[in-house]
Every structure is written in structure tokens, then in C-alpha cells.
Structure 1
């Protein structure tokens, strides 16, 4: 008996010591996090290549490196690790080599990192890589002057600009700046590379439109047909793109491509809204893409569209679903599409039958993205409020969810924090409004805590179970606050009517939603100090600070 009591005492002491050694999340922790970016699964499904980014606060720089691992998460190792960013890993279709971008050019190497070969040498650089199934061709994007047909012309124009004594820009249209980038005369064009000959062709020669589009595109806006004879891509051809959401899907017959000549293309999408992300079915019968019905609305529901390549028929498979489709991945038998979509505070993974429209969850919880199918498994990135993005896998029937990478485990294990909680309150017109609640580290139910109320921007957007590097809910809580983040009218994940509820009503129903939620929280959570309340928001959230 004494021995048992002794063992229990030791265990309790160890537990107490472990609790005392943990600490709240800090800004330095945020900088120290390794960020898992894009990844690719080898054709045989045995290997995963991924990009990992690290930052240095001291040097104010970030660096991207490429890692490899077995698809079960074992044998994780660095493949490319230099002072030059290496990213965008893509396996060659035969699986024997890996392509990647380094120094704004496409390179290729063996799977042990040796025998590097540079595939492109463009003055204007390259972005993205898409291989044809036979490994003979690839697609990439590059920013060029529309009136230049050669790299020499692009270089000459840049050199002429550099000689000018004054830096200036004359704008004749409304699109002067997009987020943090000033608009220049250059446009992103789609290029085709003959891998063996190292010859490339500008497929959108002389076009004033961008491929991929400047805004509202996807991570997959150009692709080859399975037989390599056709190319699909996304482009907005409207003259005034500052007020247009009209991205469309176009196709090119590879036989029509000629060096130095404009390539003819055909539009296959039918809506006046945003169409993007063309993905060919493995059997080559369909092109699937996402499509918004309404013009000029960035937050419309993204429907799943199917274009029949033989008949030209366009079908909207998800017309009766109140779901906005995200990334698409075909099943190997071309009968289903796996996709991600916002569902309440999560970004879930679904499976839809393209013939019957039957739709089911594969994985409901957490924030999931970039689902890639290989055999009987889906590989994807997952994040949650206490976990930056890592690579996960799950069987296609929704069983055996497994975390494959643990890049930040040692750091995360040192942090004291709590998983998010949620609650629902009654908003305007009786609508149910969901909110996220985060308690501070070392929370004590008997104490009173200062409270911070966070309003998201957009105005269409939502707070979700993510690890955000700007508006991180856990970072606010780490300073001793109880944090509540409501999803009022305008939020994603609660149906299109709820999202549309903020349109032309910025201070109406959404204001009632926000204030009713606040009243509910103060009435039901006695650990909130009513005399110590704060609120914050950016973009539309900042606008709402004036109302609150």
C-alpha cells in the first residue's frame, strides 16, 4: 500500500512540474513555427514531397526548403536546403525524379537530391508547374509584357525603364493596385515547355489578361487532359477587371499551338460569375470546375460544374446543395469528386457522386485543405487553433485519420493553452449565430478575466478552427483574455442565405447578431469581467468598431 501511495505521489509531483514548465504562447513562438506549404504525392503513392518555410526574426527573412518522407510519415528528410528558396515540388510522371522551382526557374533532380538539371532559363522567371501525363510537356506561368513575343524584348523594356530618371506610372484603368502589389504593364501568361527540347511557347501571346487570373482564382487554374492533347485554363477577359468577377474556363487544342503565333482558345464556362479550377476526370470524359452564378459577387456559392468534352453539355452537379465548393480531386474511377468546403467553424472534406449528386462527409472536423487522392487514401493539410498546418492522411471511407508530420511538436508541447469551445446565440430574426470561445492559459473558473471581442473582416468571411499568423485567437488569449469570435451574418459555412444576409445591410442584422451574442456571453459566462471589455477587428471588423 505504501509503495502504491509513493508511486502516486511521484506521479502527481511530475504532473505538477510539467504544468509549471508550460507557458503561454508568445510572438516569438509564432515566428519560430515551421510552416508546411504545398505538397505532392508520388505516382506510386509511396513518397510525399513538401515545402516547409521557416522565418528568422533577426534577419527579417524567410526561406523555403523541400522535404521528402514516406507516405506513412516515416523517413522524413530534407531534400533541398539552401539559402535560395526551393518550392513547388512536383514528381515527374514516372516518379523517378522531382521537379521544383528555385531562383524563379524550374529544376529537376533525383529523389536523393543529386543530378540537378535546370529546365527553364527565362528572364521573366516562372511560377507553378503542371506536367503532362507522358512527362514530355509542362505548363507554367510567367509575367511578361503583352506586346513582347521574346524574352529579349522583355529584358529590353525593363532596361529602358531602369534608365529613366524618374519613377512614375500612368494608369488609364481602375486596377492600379491589388492588395500589396502595384499593377504594372506586365501580365501573367501561360507557357508550354517541351521538356526534351527546352523550347517554350507563350500560349496567351499578346493577351492583356492574366493566367492564372489576378483575383478569385484557385491553386489549380491550368491543367492537361489525361492524353495531353488539350489544355484547360482560367482567365478573365473583361476589360475592367477591377469591378469584374467574370473568370472563365477556356480550352486549347494542343495541335493548334504554333511558335510565335497567337493560340486559339474556346470558352466552355457559362456563368457571368467566377468560374475557376478546371480539373480533368481521369477517364478524360469531363472537365470539372467551380462556378459562381451571379456576376460581380465575390462571395457567391461555388457550384460544382461538369463539362462533357464529347457533347459540350454543361451540368451543375451541386445545384441543390447549399455548399460552396473548394479544392477538387477526382476519384480514380471518375465517379466521385472529393472536395473541401466551409462547414460552420470547420473546413470539411466531402465526397460527391457526379452522376447522382449523393454527397457525404469524409472528415467534418478541423480546417482541411489541398486534399490529394492516392489509391485508397486522401492526403491533405490540416490545421486547428493549437496546431499550425501539418500533413494528414485518411482512408477514403473516413476511417484511420493519421497525422504524418510533426514539425512543431517540440515547441507546441511547451505551450499552455486550451482547445476552442463554441456556443450558439439567437441573432436577428431568430437566426442562430455560432461563436468561438477561447479561455486564457491556466484558466480558473472562479476568477474574473478581461474580455476581448473579435469581429472578422470580409465582410464575407468567418472565424474558424485555424492557426492564423495575424489574427490568432490563441495569441489574444495568451495575454490573459477570454476571447470570443462570433460568426454573424455574412459568415461562410452556414448556407448562402446567411452569407448574403450582410449584403447592403452592413449595420443591420449583422449588428444585432453581434450585440445579441455579446449579451448572451455576458449572461452565461460569469468568468468574464463585465467592467473590463475590449473589442477589435480589421477591414470590415474595423468598420464595425464604429458601430459597437
Structure 2
């Protein structure tokens, strides 16, 4: 997310160029009418999706980005909007046919910079006076101006042929790729380019081409597949850049999560690693075994910041740098702590140790002594504060997820984006009180009110369920829209992915609880073993035990609902899930003792031996399975994992199943979904396969999204209603 930036008035006032002009797009805010007062796939895709928000330097206005989608045109369009901090005077600033993104305040809040077609543009705060600042050939993918406005970080992709070799020049039509090491593809693309940060000057003539601060280095910054400009930040004096990078390639990259924070000096052009001591040498590892018990994660070595270290932010006074930090190498779901680095002494202090969950987002306060952060606890992502001593206090206590956080620039308040299972994202102002009940939260935008006002939503309830080992587990229960307590309803067990992502108050445009409620289903969504927000012990119990207690937790949740909730029809139960949730569905299909009448698995792992070598991020399989399947001897946990792979229990499958997969999913390859479907049909079990040649681990295109929802509910209705 963009942070506040400033730019010199002299530089901007002398910039030359014509105002940007383009035909007006026909993709914008929808005036859709919802029939029968129930959520539909079309209504979901008609909603505006708020992506980023940033307050003006004086805190009086908020610039933000919204995405709108056209099912007919099968594409999306990003626009920029402006609203007063009190929620008044909302207006759309951009109307071009091309998307315009990444708003950032410059020139002391007089102008707003943004990206259009790979170039940086700037406009007045009222949307007038548009001028193009860069001439990069459309190559800019992200940017951040220095506080003094004299420089700007530019994110560009550069060719990368270290792993996939460049084809001979005399074979220009050859489509083959010669790979020489691992990480030849990542998430949904073959790795033939990587992003690098460039530092460019801002002059009276615009923005220069810039200099690559990692020139000659075969490493990416920001880090794929999800990193953005938030992984780099300027020092308040505009001299230093703190950036995130995992300086590894090939096999070493594939098995490691060890990224570091680097400090680049724009004057001396030198780089310092803030996480590792000078002369640090990597510890040798066995790439076919979990790093859990290897020397790399020894107690002595852990002081070297071995896990993910990401998203550095300088304190306003420049004395400190804070970042998110995981302790252990090879563990992508390790607890994300907030590390504060003292630039004068080099001391690192972890200031969220008393919060036994993840730091999801954070920002400094103007006093340089206080930080606010978001984190999940008991199924909700709330706002917390800590000081430099690590004294943490809770700020909000909402049944909601705060998914973004930044200063509101009035010296005290926070700018946040918040969502829940019942409402998509909107912008809020948080005025922290001394305790949560004294905190004031004000909604600024009402992006989808015109749609939500037409829709009957299902009530969301909390329910605590006793597990088979005597623990208490939080389940969200979502009731059907227009709920009648005297009726019995078909009920869905929602299986979460990750395996360590929370069942929080998230709003999804695919796995949407309210559209399930609109279709007449009760949803039981348990925070089973392996999910954050209930302490580290609970969170870590899933690793090496995919088919143990977490599966018992699923069954405890659905059994409790079937036995104790009078509106749940125990004879019409289904289980649905994606990713690890899809794996869970495949496993339950062979172990449910006829509880369920149908299953849906999206992008689930089916054959864990195949999955071990199919996936691109090998550290995941190593940590979760503990061993390559060919190792002798296997650890007890690895043997249990492979022995309990869902594909080994197809002989016990007896229930209709829908398998969904994207062919561009390189995290869990589509052969997993095809294998499950083929096995079901060969067993004579009713089954369908929805395959998307152009989608990855998610479903991103509007018409594919509509097809996904229709197929999903047609399948459920066929087996749970007819």
C-alpha cells in the first residue's frame, strides 16, 4: 500500500505535457436491481471493490482506489476517488477507459500521483491538470516518492534467464523452455522476468529513467507472487531506502523463506543487511527434509532473522525501522511479529511478543514511540497498539476484519479498510480510546450501499464447540437469508485453506458466506486446529498432522450442528472447501461415515506424493510433510502424512463430488483435481469437473466467477435440495 509522499512544488509546477485524455469507460458503479432481495453472483460482481486508501497530509481528504467489473466485457476497471475525511463530498476523479491505480499524495497534498498504462501521472486534487511525469515505455509497476519529492522509487520488470534459458536467436518461434533449476515457475507464471527497484530523479522535465539499485543481482524485489511497493520505504531524510529481498535463486530459493531487510544509501550507493551480521554464511541444509529440526533453525542461529522479514517502515523521526518478522526458515506460517530496529545501536526489539498471533498490517504514529497493528484473535481481525517496550493493548473489539491500516494524519486517528462476513470493504476512521469500548469508529465510504440495501442477509453467530480432545473451538454459524427457526435447512461445512489462514470475518467474492445464505444454506465454519488467533500451540498443531486433530475438529463442528441446532437438517449435509480446504474435502470423502450427501473441492491436493514435487514453493511441502516421500527412513509424521493421502482412500468414496481446478495453478497443480475426478468416475461415483484453463489458484475473470457460482450451487441444490 502506498504511504504518504511529498514532492517539491518547483519540480511539479514546471512539468510540461498535455492533460491526459481518453474515452470514458462504460465499466463503473452499477445500478443493478436485485431480484427477490437475495444475493446473486451478478450482484457480487456488480460491487465496487475498494483496494487502497491514503489520507492527505492535512488529514482532511482521502484518496482511494476502487475496482469495478463488467461481466459482459469480462474485465475489470480501476478508478480513483476522493472523499472528505468526514464522509462528505465523494467524487470519482478518473474517467479514462484505461485503469488508473495507486494514488499517492504529492506536492504537500496539492496533487495526486497515480499509474496509468505503466506510467506515472499527476493531477490536482480535484482531478484537473493531469500531466504525465514518466516516459518509461509503459514499464512502471509501482512507485514511491521520497519525502522531499526529489526522487522516486520505480518498480520495473527486467529479463531473467538464470533458470529458464533464452532460446537461440535463430529460433524465434520456438515455444520450448529449458529450465536448469527449481523455481522456474511461480504461482501462475513462468519466471522469465523479475522485478527490481530503480531510483529516479524528479526534475522540471519529469522523472528520469532511474538507476537499478540491485543492478546485476539475480534476485527479485518486491518478492513474488504477492509483494508490492509496501516492501520498500524511504527514510524521512530521503537518503535511505529500506527494502525486502530474499537473495537466493533456484533450489535455495525454493526451500527457504529467509528474506531480509536491506538498507540502501542513495548517496554512497552501498547496501547493508539489517537482519544478518557482517560475514554471515548460510547454514547447509538437507533440501528433502523439514528445516524444523535442522541446524539452520537452531536456537543460536535464530537470532539471525531466518524467516520472512518484510515491509519495513521508518519511524517519523528516522531513529527506528519496524518490519514484520518470522523467526524460522522454511515455515511460511510462522508467527508474524513486529520487529523494531534501533538504527543507532543495531538492537532489535520484538514489540508484539505478548500478542500470541500474527501482525497483519501496521503503521507508526507521529510520536515515533507508538505503533498500531492489526491481528486476528478469536476469528476477528482487530486493531491493537504497542509501544517500544512491547506493551500491547487492544483498540477495537469488532466482529469484523480490519484489512488495511495507515495514519489518518491528524496526529491520533487511523485510516482503515474494514470488512465482515456481511459487508464488503469500506473505509473507516478509527479514533483510539484507552480501551476498546471507548474507541470511536466512523464509516467514511458506503461503496455498495445501493446493492446491500436491496439484499436480505443471513445472521452471523458465534458458537463454541467442544473438540474430541476436550478443547473449545470457535465456529461461525451463518443462517440462511429470511431465516425461519421452525424450518430445517441443508447445511454446509466450510473447510478453510492455508492450512493456517483464519476463518475470520472475511468477505470473499467467491467463498462468500452471504451468497450461501441467500441460496438457503446454513454454513458451519470452524476455526479448526491449525488456524491463527487462538495461540501458537493451536496454530501449529496442523503441521505434520493434516489428517489428525484438524479433521476431528471438522467432524466435531458438523456433528455439534446436526445434533444441537434444530434448524440443521442432518440428512442434508455437504462439505466444501478450497486449497487445504479442498484437500480436507478429498480426505473427508473417504472418512465421513456417510455424514455428507455431497462434496465440493476447489484446487485441493489429492495425491500428496505427487504434490510434494509438483508444487513450486518446496519449503511448504518440506515443513508440512517433514520428508520427501523417497527418504528412508521417513519420520513418523511424514509416514502418517503419505499413508493418509486422500488418493489412498478412494475405495471408500461413496458420495457425489464436484472437483474444480485452474490449469494455471502452480501451487497445487491441476492434475490433482483431474486425478480426483477421474478416480471418482472410475469408481462409478457421480462427479463433475470444472476446469479453468486461464485461472490460477483463484478465479479472477468475471464470467468465470459467474460460472463458478452457478456450478457450485447447481451441484449443491442437486444433492441437498432435490
Normalising by structure 2, we get a TM-score of: 0.69
Structure 2: 5+ residue stretches without partners: 1-33, 276-303, 589-722
Poorly superposed stretches of 4+, deviation over 3 Å: 157-163, 215-219
Show the counterpart of 1:346.
380
Matches within 5 A, 1:42-53: 42-53=56-67
SS of corresponding position for 1:52: strand
Q: How far apart are the structure 2 equivalents of 1:335 and 1:400?
A: 22
Q: Is the 8 A contact 1:217 1:276 kept in 2?
A: no
SS in 2 for 1:265: strand
Report SS of the residue matched to 1:339.
Answer: strand
1:302 to 336, 345, 348: 336
Match of 2:247 among 227, 237, 259: 237
Correspondence for 1:363: 396
Work out which of the residue numbers 414, 417, 424 in structure 2 matches 1:378: 414
Q: CA deviation at 1:518?
A: 1.6
Alpha-carbon distance change, 341 to 93 in structure 1, aligned in 2, over 3 angstroms = farther
Give the conservation status (yes or no) of the 8 Å contact 2:232–2:243.
Answer: yes
1:401 aligns to what SS in structure 2? Answer: strand
Aligned 1:417-432 pairs, distance under 5 A: 417-432=457-472
> 1:410 aligns to what SS in structure 2?
helix
> Deviations for 1:41-68, whole angstroms, at most 9, x for unmatched residues?
1111111111011000000010000011
Q: Secondary structure at the match of 1:289?
A: strand
| Cα contact 2:187–2:225 (8 A) shared by 1 | no
TM-superposed CA distance for 1:162, in Å, is: 11
> Aligned residue for 1:23?
37
In 2, Cα distance between equivalents of 1:169 and 1:251: 35
Distance 2:35 2:579 in 1: 38
1:178 Cα shift?
A: 2.0
Corresponding residue number in structure 2 for 1:181: 189
The alpha carbon displacement at 1:414 in A equals 0.7
Aligned to 2:9: none
Stretch deviating more after TM superposition (237-246 or 505-514): 237-246
SS of residue matched to 1:113: coil
- Equivalent residue number for residue 12 of structure 2: none
Matched position secondary structure for 1:429: coil
Q: What's 1:192 paired with?
A: 199
**Which residue in the other structure is 1:253 paired with?**
265
> Which of 487, 497, 505 is equivalent to 1:465?
505
Question: Which residue pairs with 1:10 in the alignment?
Answer: none
Report the Cα offset of residue 221 of structure 1: 0.6
Question: Match for residue 225 of structure 1?
Answer: 235
Which region of structure 1 is more displaced relative to structure 2, 311-320 or 535-544? Answer: 311-320
Paired position in structure 2 for 1:171: 179
Offset at 1:364? 2.4
Aligned length: 513
Q: What SS is found at the alignment partner of 1:463?
A: coil
Change (3 A) 1:231 1:77: same
Matched, 1:115 2:123: no
RMSD of aligned C-alpha atoms? 2.1
Task: State the distance in 1 between where 2:579 and 2:466 align.
Answer: 25
Structure with the bigger percentage of strand: 1
Cα pair distance change 1:81/1:296, threshold 3 Å? same
* Deviation digits for residues 179-229 of structure 1 (CA, Å, limit 9, x no counterpart): 222221x11101112111622111111111111111575761101100111
Deviations 1:339-396 (A, max 9, x none): 1111122111111011x21111111211112211122211110111121111011213
Q: Distance in 1 between matches of 2:166 and 2:331?
A: 36
> Which residue of the partner structure matches residue 612 of structure 2?
none
- Distance in 2, Cα, partners of 1:158 & 1:141: 23
Look up the match of 1:260.
none
Verify the 8 A CA contact 2:316 2:366 in the aligned structure 1: yes
Quote the offset at 1:318 in angstroms.
2.4
1:176, 1:91 → 2: CA distance? 38
The reply to whether residue 530 of structure 1 matches residue 530 of structure 2 is: no
Whole-angstrom distance in 1 between the partners of 2:423 and 2:415: 17
Change (3 A) 1:162 1:252: farther
Corresponding residue for residue 666 of structure 2? none
Deviation at 1:140, TM superposition (A): 2.2
Provide the secondary structure at the position in 1 that maps to 2:236: coil
1:520 CA displacement: 1.2
Matches within 5 A, 1:441-452: 441-452=481-492
Cα pair 2:490 2:569 within 8 Å, conserved = yes
- Name the counterpart of 1:405: 445
Equivalent pair of 1:231/1:253 in contact (CA under 8 Å): yes
Instruction: Specify the alignment match of 1:311 in structure 2.
Output: 345
Secondary structure of the 1:135 match is coil
- Could you tell which deviates more after superposition, 437-446 or 114-123? 114-123
Q: Pick from 181, 202, 211: which aligns with 2:212?
A: 202
Q: 1:320 to 1:362 in 2, by over 3 A?
A: closer
Say which is worse superposed, 274-283 or 138-147, in terms of deviation. 138-147
SS at match of 2:469: helix
CA contact (8 A) 2:379 2:503 kept: yes
Which residue of structure 2 lines up, in the alignment, with residue 152 of structure 1? none
Q: What residue number does 2:617 align with?
A: none
8 Å CA contact 2:323, 2:339 repeated in 1: yes
Could you state the TM-score of these two structures normalised by the residue count of structure 1? 0.90
Q: How far apart, CA to CA, are the structure 1 residues paired with 2:330 and 2:70?
A: 40
SS in 1 for 2:134: coil
1:436 equivalent in structure 2: 476
TM-superposed CA distance for 1:400, in Å, is 2.4
Q: Is the contact between residue 370 and residue 381 of structure 1 (CA under 8 Å) also seen in structure 2?
A: yes
The structural deviation recorded for 1:502 is 0.1
Q: What 5-or-longer segments of structure 1 have no aligned partner?
A: 1-19, 149-156, 258-263
Higher normalized contact order (CA 8 Å, seq sep 6+, divided by chain length)? 2
Describe the superposition over 1:470-529 as per-residue Cα deviations: whole angstroms up to 9, x where unpaired. Answer: 111111121111111111011121112111010000000111111112221112101111
